Structure 1
């Protein structure tokens, strides 16, 4: 029985470390797989009144950068590719 006494604490430690590693990459460039882009963009565009254009551009940006900034607005510094992609007119391409 003594062999298994440290098992619960080791399991909890592994869960905490896995969660910390996942958080450390959240929102960073290249942190998403292409199939994760629609869900990330759904959240990113959830509070805008211009949902269809937001989703279209967000998904384009995510496909290129494999990153969507956290939250529904701002935080673009988390994804330099997403932040620096500009329109022909020089405005931000990504929402």
Structure 2
């Protein structure tokens, strides 16, 4: 799980965590589970967290195993300007 989210979320004070949870349409309890690696956030929550954190936490960090399949538009090969193709799912 994303250490960036864990650091960001637990870096907020109690009121800040409550406000953040409201902004992303979740609860402090659920976000605590996500931050501690006990739950995997859904695609929409990942986008909401990225936006609410001002990009400090990226959706690709929240879903490191499948972000490329979920958001292929984010996969630009560094320095080339070309897009990276998502890996095909094994049968």
Same fold (TM over 0.5): no
Larger radius of gyration: 1
More helix by share: 1
TM-score of the two chains, using structure 2 as the length reference: 0.29
